[in-house]
């Protein structure tokens, strides 16, 4: 027996002893606070490690690039980074680690909040290479995935219940956002608005502890300064409120454009699932071409954001082949407008080609560009009212993020915590709210949730829908119904009834396909007439069910069919009509009450 095996056994034995001791001496809620603190520490350290890796790789590769002319390294570096990432994911990770936030949502709703162990580090490493080499994505999606996996695995190690695991996953997400942005309030609001965890007496304290702990670690490593340097040079007056309303509508429409393009490109790259290297090649060609003509699309784009927040529009054309045109106001307007339009293509191409990154930073980036462009165009017309380009750039960040994420509160506080722009709180509120309202007209779900919503697998803040999402159809199918055949006589039917304790009988053909149903009440008047035993068969008195349920159908859809038909039992079949069993309202209600008590108890 190896020493390693003996050592692992000893550790497992100690862990089990501690778990038993904890159950007898420390309540679950008290222990949750301790775990939330650990998640905050590890999540904060992971965020700092990710930032360090990205900046180290990026500085090593770009420190010698001439920013005063077009540079062909803009073609090579992003492609190289995406290829390295794709090889790492394909041959080392051997698992899909893209769309981090969506996968966290899926784990909460469909996998009892359990994430794989490798998710604690694989997306962190992959995204650091993708972004460090110039991929046009953000680090926030991967750090949310990493933090959530830390929370999930830490809770699983101590054998915590699914309800507690769900909170710990939220704590990890809050810690990731708080640590990478130094924004604890935004971290907690991200969990509530995007991951859709309920704010209850059980969840609020752990979320706060994780977010504050992670942000504290960020302050210890990087100092007590804002992520983006911003100095407000002009007060926001009441006269500018109509312009803030206009910017809110523009941000909502830009958010809609960004979301639609991301979905369109994802569907496009999805066509090449069977040929991943062709997909990588196409994505790299698109990405490299866009970055060559629009260098601000390189990497996270935070340098461009800081330039616009400082009021320097000319810095946007640095490094491009159009460097000499940076003094032409009309050219700057067109150039920034093209960047707003092309960012979604660059981001989706990075991920589609095999890179790993999120849409969090790109939405901030597009918002900053859109807000700056809005003010820039307004001032070009020479109106008596002059507005601050950099103020509106900051406000635009909150506007587009609010629309893309469907998270207005998080967008408001994140922008304020990132820049220190608390004095612009009123326009931040106006723009974020209007942007969110605008996109909701066209898109009811955020860029993260729409995939799961279409499949009926999305948790919501409505407890009824949440519990139905957590219910699995397999757990409520009843299979103890005795079946009959269409050709059976009434006498044979009565024999089956005598052996059954149910009053419903599925009628199946030789292939096991559902032909109809027989309800005991419908034949009660003939089943005691021996003269009809040989004259009537099942096919003559069976009926068709008012609706059929498809195997794997969402419970929300199942309940809609029950409400529509008024039925108490409905059969379950597959697409070919093969019979699986019945679902009854009583079974659903019993399971509903059990899940409600398990997950939603304060």
Residue range 114-155, pLDDT digits in tens: 999 999 999 999 999 999 999 999 988 899 999 999 999 999
Pick the last residue of a domain from 402, 424, 457.
457
Contact between residue 244 and residue 412 where contact means Cβ atoms under 8 Å apart: no
Contact between residue 180 and residue 127 where contact means Cβ atoms under 8 Å apart: no
Handedness of CA 513, 515, 516, 518 (dihedral sign): negative
Contact between residue 585 and residue 556 where contact means Cβ atoms under 8 Å apart: no
Pick the last residue of a domain from 457, 490, 516.
457
Task: Supply 247's token pair.
Answer: 């910017």
Q: How many CA atoms lie within 13 A of 416 on its CB side?
A: 19
Give tens-digit pLDDT for 427-446: 999 999 999 999 999 998 88
pLDDT of residue 597: 60
270 and 123 together in one domain: no
453 and 553 together in one domain: no
Residue 66 belongs to some domain of the structure = yes
Average pLDDT over residues 574-581: 89
Domain that holds residue 470: 466-599
146 and 27 together in one domain: yes
Give tens-digit pLDDT for 486-530: 999 888 888 888 888 888 899 999 888 999 999 888 888 888 888
Residue 229 belongs to some domain of the structure = no
Whether the per-residue pLDDT at 450 is higher than 90: the answer is no
487 and 553 together in one domain: yes
Give tens-digit pLDDT for 55-112: 999 888 877 765 445 567 777 889 999 999 999 999 999 888 888 888 898 888 778 8
291 and 144 together in one domain: no
62 and 205 together in one domain: yes
Number of domains in the chain: 3
- B/e letters for 358-382, b = 16+ CB within 10 Å, e = fewer, are bbbbbbbbbbbbbbbbbbbebbeee
pLDDT of residue 365: 94
Phi, psi (deg, nearest 5) at residue 184: -65, -40
500 and 417 together in one domain: no
pLDDT of residue 226: 82
Contact between residue 336 and residue 326 where contact means Cβ atoms under 8 Å apart: no
Cα(538)–Cα(522) distance, integer angstroms: 12
Kindly give, in sequence order, each residue whose CB lies less than 8 Å from that of residue 560, ignoring residues fewer than 6 positions away.
Answer: none
Which CATH number do you get for residue 518?
A: 3.10.580.10
Residue 300 belongs to some domain of the structure = yes
For residue 578, list its beta bridge partners: 513
448 and 525 together in one domain: no
Residue 174 belongs to some domain of the structure = yes
> Which whole-number Å values give the CA distances from 263 to 119, 240, 273, in the listed order?
24, 35, 16
Q: Write down the mean pLDDT value for the chain.
A: 86
Residue 227 belongs to some domain of the structure = no
Pick the last residue of a domain from 222, 255, 287.
222
Cα(145)–Cα(103) distance, integer angstroms: 8
Whether the per-residue pLDDT at 3 is higher than 90: the answer is no
Contact between residue 133 and residue 298 where contact means Cβ atoms under 8 Å apart: no
pLDDT of residue 197: 77
Cα(390)–Cα(392) distance, integer angstroms: 5
Q: How many CA atoms lie within 13 A of 101 on its CB side?
A: 25
Which CATH number do you get for residue 98?
A: 1.10.3080.10
341 and 193 together in one domain: no
Whether the per-residue pLDDT at 41 is higher than 50: the answer is yes
* pTM of the full structure: 0.82
Q: Is 524 helix (H, G, I), strand (E, B) or coil?
A: coil
pLDDT of residue 69: 52
Average pLDDT over residues 533-537: 84
Contact between residue 457 and residue 110 where contact means Cβ atoms under 8 Å apart: yes
For residue 505, list its beta bridge partners: 518
Cα(602)–Cα(598) distance, integer angstroms: 10
Contact between residue 43 and residue 314 where contact means Cβ atoms under 8 Å apart: no
Residue 426 belongs to some domain of the structure = yes
Cα(72)–Cα(65) distance, integer angstroms: 10
Looking at the chain, the number of H-run helices and the number of E-run strands are 24, 6
The H or E element that residue 581 is part of is strand 579-584
Residue 496 belongs to some domain of the structure = yes
342 and 416 together in one domain: yes
Whether the per-residue pLDDT at 224 is higher than 90: the answer is no
pLDDT band at 2 (very low <50, low <70, confident <90, very high): low
19 and 135 together in one domain: yes
Whether the per-residue pLDDT at 325 is higher than 80: the answer is no
Top-confidence range, 137-146, 245-254, 314-323, 570-579: 245-254
- Fill in the DSSP letter of residue 484: B
pLDDT of residue 194: 87
pLDDT of residue 67: 47
pLDDT of residue 278: 92
Number of Cβ within 10 Å of residue 515's Cβ equals 17
Cα(151)–Cα(103) distance, integer angstroms: 14
Whether the per-residue pLDDT at 334 is higher than 80: the answer is yes
For residue 549, list its beta bridge partners: 572
Residue 545 belongs to some domain of the structure = yes
Handedness of CA 521, 525, 529, 534 (dihedral sign): negative
Of the candidate ranges 144-148, 481-485, 566-570, the one whose mean pLDDT is the lowest? 566-570
470 and 436 together in one domain: no
């Amino acid at each position: 027996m190896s020493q390693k095996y003996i050592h692992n056994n000893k550790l497992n034995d100690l862990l089990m002893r501690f778990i038993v001791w904890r159950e007898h001496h420390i309540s679950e809620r008290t222990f949750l606070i301790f775990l939330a603190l650990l998640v905050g520490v590890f999540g904060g350290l992971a965020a700092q490690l990710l930032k360090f890796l990205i900046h180290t790789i990026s500085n090593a590769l770009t420190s010698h690039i001439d920013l005063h002319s077009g540079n062909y390294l803009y073609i090579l570096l992003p492609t190289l980074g995406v290829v390295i990432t794709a090889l790492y994911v394909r041959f080392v990770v051997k698992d899909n680690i893209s769309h981090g936030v969506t996968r966290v949502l899926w784990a909460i709703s469909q996998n009892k909040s359990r994430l794989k162990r490798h998710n604690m580090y694989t997306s962190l490493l992959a995204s650091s290479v993708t972004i460090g080499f110039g991929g046009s994505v953000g680090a926030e999606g991967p750090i949310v995935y990493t933090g959530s996996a830390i929370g999930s695995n830490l809770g699983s190690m101590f054998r915590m219940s699914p309800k507690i695991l769900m909170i710990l996953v939220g704590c990890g997400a809050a810690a990731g956002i708080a640590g990478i942005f130094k924004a604890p309030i935004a971290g907690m609001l991200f969990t509530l608005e995007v991951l859709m965890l309920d704010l209850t007496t059980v969840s609020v304290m752990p979320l706060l502890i994780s977010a504050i702990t992670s942000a504290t670690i960020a302050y210890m490593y990087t100092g007590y300064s804002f992520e983006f340097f911003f100095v407000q040079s002009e007060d926001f007056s009441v006269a500018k409120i109509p312009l803030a309303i206009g910017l809110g509508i523009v941000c909502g429409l830009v958010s809609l454009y960004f979301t639609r393009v991301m979905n369109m490109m994802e569907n496009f790259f999805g066509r090449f699932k069977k040929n991943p290297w062709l997909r990588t090649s196409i994505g790299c060609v698109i990405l490299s071409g866009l970055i060559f003509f629009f260098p601000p699309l390189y990497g996270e784009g935070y340098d461009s954001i800081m330039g616009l927040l400082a009021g320097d529009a000319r810095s946007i054309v640095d490094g491009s082949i159009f460097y000499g045109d940076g003094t032409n106001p009309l050219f700057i307007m067109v150039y920034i407008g093209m960047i707003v339009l092309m960012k979604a293509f660059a981001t989706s191409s990075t991920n589609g080609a095999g890179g790993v990154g999120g849409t969090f930073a790109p939405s901030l980036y597009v918002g900053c560009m859109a807000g700056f462009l809005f003010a820039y165009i307004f001032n070009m017309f020479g109106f008596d009212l002059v507005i601050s380009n950099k103020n509106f750039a900051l406000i635009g960040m909150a506007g587009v993020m609010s629309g893309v994420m469907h998270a207005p509160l998080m967008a408001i506080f994140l922008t304020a915590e990132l820049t220190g722009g608390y004095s612009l709180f009123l326009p931040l509120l106006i723009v974020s709210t209007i942007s969110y309202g605008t996109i909701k007209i066209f898109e009811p779900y955020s860029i993260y949730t729409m995939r799961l919503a279409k499949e009926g697998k999305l948790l919501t803040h409505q407890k009824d829908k949440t519990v139905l999402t957590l219910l699995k159809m397999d757990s409520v199918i009843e299979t103890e119904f005795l079946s009959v055949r269409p050709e059976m006589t009434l006498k044979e039917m009565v024999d089956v009834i005598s052996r059954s304790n149910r009053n419903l009988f599925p009628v199946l053909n030789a292939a096991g396909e559902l032909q109809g149903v027989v309800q005991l009440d419908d034949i009660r008047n003939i089943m005691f007439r021996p003269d009809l035993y040989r004259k009537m068969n099942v096919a003559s008195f069976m009926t068709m069910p008012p609706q059929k349920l498809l195997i794997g159908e969402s419970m929300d859809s199942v309940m809609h069919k029950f409400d529509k038909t008024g039925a108490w039992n409905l059969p379950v079949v597959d697409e070919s009509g093969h019979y699986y069993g019945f679902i009854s309202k009583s079974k659903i209600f019993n399971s509903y009450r059990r899940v409600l008590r398990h997950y939603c108890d304060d």
